[in-house]
Structure 1
Amino acid sequence: MSVRIGVYPGTFDPITRGHMDIIRRGAKLVDRLVIGVTTNPSKSPMFTIDERLAMVERETAGIEGEIHVVSFDSLLMDFAEREGAGMIVRGLRAVADFEYEYQMAGMNQQLNDRVETVFLMADVSLQPIASRLVKEIALYGGAIRKFVSPSVEADVVLRVSEIGRKGS
């Protein structure tokens, strides 16, 4: 019997309750879930790749199932192939996400039709959460406790204070 491997890619800057919902549910669909932490040239990260890897590893430590957290800096389909994945797991929050993800899934299928993309709808209570907005709220001194775990909240608050000290 072959091992079913799925890849859940993202920048996870920072990892949110929405990401965690998709990870928990995605882990039930496969024998091994590989969380691919990547850079995105169009985004300016608050945390380094190593910090994000450590954060994701810490946050996913208690989740049932085989979960591997690794970094990648390549085409997603090349990464999926390298990991032996037959599935890409993607979370959807809204119609705008669907349009983008649908286009990406089509392009990815053209690159490698042996890997399927599976979409999971985020829990309704978590749909508005986006890392970009969490960072923006934190930078303006707003509370982010509803959107991230207490340990991620502490990481973000510390980073915001460091950014503030550098700017002074």
Structure 2
Amino acid sequence: MSTEVGSPVAGLTTSLSDVPDPVFSQAMVGPGVAVKPSGGEGDAVAPVAGQVVTLHPHAFVIAASSGGAVLVHLGIDTVKLKGEGFTLHVSTGEAVEAGQKIITWNPTEVESQGYSSICPVVALDAPAESLADLREDTQVLPGDALFNLEG
């Protein structure tokens, strides 16, 4: 079974190796891609349909209905903002649809505070070979396919 993982934000896709954090750039938590957001305040949306299993102002994990779990991290070191500038629209345990609004945030504001706004989108604990059709160096809109998770 294959799960299409969509982009949580609009922007330019890039390799995880470009993320300025070794946890992501070395794929320690799993393979995936990153999106460099374009524009100011906007919504981060669910990359897959499923259940919200982890929710922080700066990151969330959705267990996909079709199997596997996807982590979206809004910026790097943004945990240090202690939730400031992030508005949550769902709660842990909630069932969500792909494309549903999860968090409103402002990548420009994150950058103005000295943090990277890049968004890793990771298939948690998945083998690298379970990802297909990775889209790198592509402009995407929220919901556009980033990769397929096979499994």
TM-score relative to the length of structure 1: 0.27
Larger Rg belongs to: 1
Structure having the larger proportion of residues in strand: 2
TM-score, reference length from structure 2 = 0.29
Q: Whose helix proportion is higher, 1 or 2?
A: 1
RCO comparison, higher one (Cα < 8 Å, 6+): 2
